[in-house]
Structure 1
Amino acid sequence: MALIQCDYYSETLGLSCSMNVILPQQTFSQIGMGGKTRGGKHPVLYLLHGLSDDHSIWLRRTSIERYAAELGLAVVMPAVHRSFYMDMEQGGRYWTFISEELPAIARSFFPLSEAREDNFAAGLSMGGYGAFKLGLRCPDKFAAAASLSGALDPAVITDRLHGFDREFALIFGSADKIRGSDNDLFHLAQLVAEGGGTVPKLYQCCGTEDFLYEDNVRFRDNAQGLGLPLTYEEEPGDHEWGYWDDKIRRVLKWLPLRSK
């Protein structure tokens, strides 16, 4: 596979940004790892980081390059700082960036498929929220979304993260502005379920010792009650990279990749 550190300019954010990109490569003589391509433009996974991380973290903490190699899958890992993938109350328009500008920029640089059935999102913690938000707000663009230990209810995140109150106000404004809005995953799930349109596949996992476990159970119960196509898994585990390294392999096996 090809591994690319890509530095570029975002018109939406008005600043220079970075992303790491893994591109499929057909290989036959690599020792310990094979690589494949599918022909034509590549299916792509937008893999999102958590609150304290950046575009490099999935490469540093997991073997995502090795895991994706045999699938012929491109992986785009952008940096969004501590934005919660939001058009922030006081800050950058990171939702517009991640949902509109980033895919367009990535496709202009690399041979990535525009077809819905070839586009997926996944992320951990804050990135789990971002991935489900992409899937539920843009079901016409993403065939599947996966959340690993997701911060799925930001309206209560200050109860989970000590000292986050001031930063929360800069990002969201107030909890009242989240409830029932396009930033509320519970509300979005209901809209998708009742809309009669295209519904993305969803995968959700969380360790039972994770500080976000209660919120994940509430989202699971809500999504299942709405009849959404949710695959849910839980097992002993905490909010840490050993768990996510294991579960991202599960996500890659679960993705509805087209056979080619």
Structure 2
Amino acid sequence: MALFQCSFFSESLRISASMNVILPQACRSQIGMDSTTDAEPPAVLYLLHGITDDHSTWLRRTSIERYVTKLPLAVVMPAVNRSFYTDIGDDAYWTFISEELPQIVQSFFRVSKDWKKTFVAGLSMGGYGAFKLGLTCPDRYAAAASLSGALDVVSAAKAHTDICNFDRIFGSSEALAGSSNDLFTLINRFPSDSETKFYQCCGTEDFLYQDNLTFKTRARQAGLNLTFEEHPDAVHNWDYWDQQIQRVLEWLPLGEA
């Protein structure tokens, strides 16, 4: 595998931005890392971070590079600060992640442009971002995965969760409910003929567990193609996410692409 640590200018954010990118590399001599590449450009997974993290955290806290060694898959890990993948006034993080970043990745790297080979996943805040992308842009993502996702932002906003600064990000909870930032509203708008698949997991001892159960119920009532897994005694930490990102990689429809 090849690892690119990339700094570039974002027109959406009007600042320099950062991402780490893992790309497949044909390799026979590196001990324990034998890999091959296909003639076709690899599929791409956008892997999103949580609220206290940045573009480096998936590499630092998991073995994601090793896990994708034998897969025809590029992994893009961008930094979005504490934005909840949302446009905040002039800080256009949703525009950046949904529109600008894929164009930049495709211009910089040899990755597939086929929506059937394009996936998104994330943890906590990144789980919200992954499902927001999958629900908003089903024509661009074949699969979206949430690990311990912060999926009910309306309830969190009403609870005035200070760590998230929801008033700054979303405005009032009244304005948030029913908006394009409310995943439950996006579920109701989701096209019934979409082929996008969703994967959701959460530990039973996670503080976001009940929100995840609520999302699961609403998603299944709406007919989403959702795989849901819960894990007894698991909490909101990297031991769990390091295990579950391996499960996500197994679940991704790479063979169907």
TMscore range, shorter length: over 0.9
Q: Does 1:230 align with 2:226?
A: yes
Identify the residue that residue 112 of structure 1 maps to in structure 2: 111
3-state secondary structure, aligned to 1:258: helix
Q: Does 1:51 align with 2:51?
A: yes
Identify the residue that residue 209 of structure 1 maps to in structure 2: 205
Q: Quickly say closer, same or farther: Cα 1:160–1:4, change in 2 above 3 A.
A: farther
Identify the residue that residue 17 of structure 1 maps to in structure 2: 17
The residue correspondences of 1:1-260 to structure 2 (distance < 5 A) are: 1-88=1-88, 90-158=89-157, 162-164=161-163, 167-192=165-190, 195-236=191-232, 237-258=234-255
Q: Quickly say closer, same or farther: Cα 1:178–1:158, change in 2 above 3 A.
A: closer
Q: Structure 1 vs Structure 2: percent identity of aligned residues?
A: 59
Aligned length: 256
Alpha-carbon distance between aligned partners in 2 of 1:113 and 1:210, rounded to the nearest angstrom: 35
TM-aligned CA deviation for residue 91 of structure 1: 4.7
Tell whether the 8 Å contact from 1:160 to 1:212 is kept in structure 2 after alignment. Answer: no
3-state secondary structure, aligned to 1:211: coil
TM-aligned CA deviation for residue 196 of structure 1: 3.5
Q: Quickly say closer, same or farther: Cα 1:42–1:149, change in 2 above 3 A.
A: same
Alpha-carbon distance between aligned partners in 2 of 1:157 and 1:21, rounded to the nearest angstrom: 32
Tell whether the 8 Å contact from 1:125 to 1:151 is kept in structure 2 after alignment. Answer: yes
Tell whether the 8 Å contact from 2:157 to 2:167 is kept in structure 1 after alignment. Answer: no
Superposition RMSD on alpha carbons, in Å?
A: 1.5
The letter of the residue matching 1:124 is L
Name the TM-score, length of structure 1 as normaliser: 0.94
Deviation per CA, 1:174-229, whole angstroms, max 9, x where unpaired?
Answer: 1122211211111111211xx34323100000000000001000000111111211
3-state secondary structure, aligned to 1:239: coil
Q: Quickly say closer, same or farther: Cα 1:25–1:87, change in 2 above 3 A.
A: same
Tell whether the 8 Å contact from 1:91 to 1:171 is kept in structure 2 after alignment. Answer: no
TM-aligned CA deviation for residue 153 of structure 1: 1.0
Name the TM-score, length of structure 2 as normaliser: 0.95
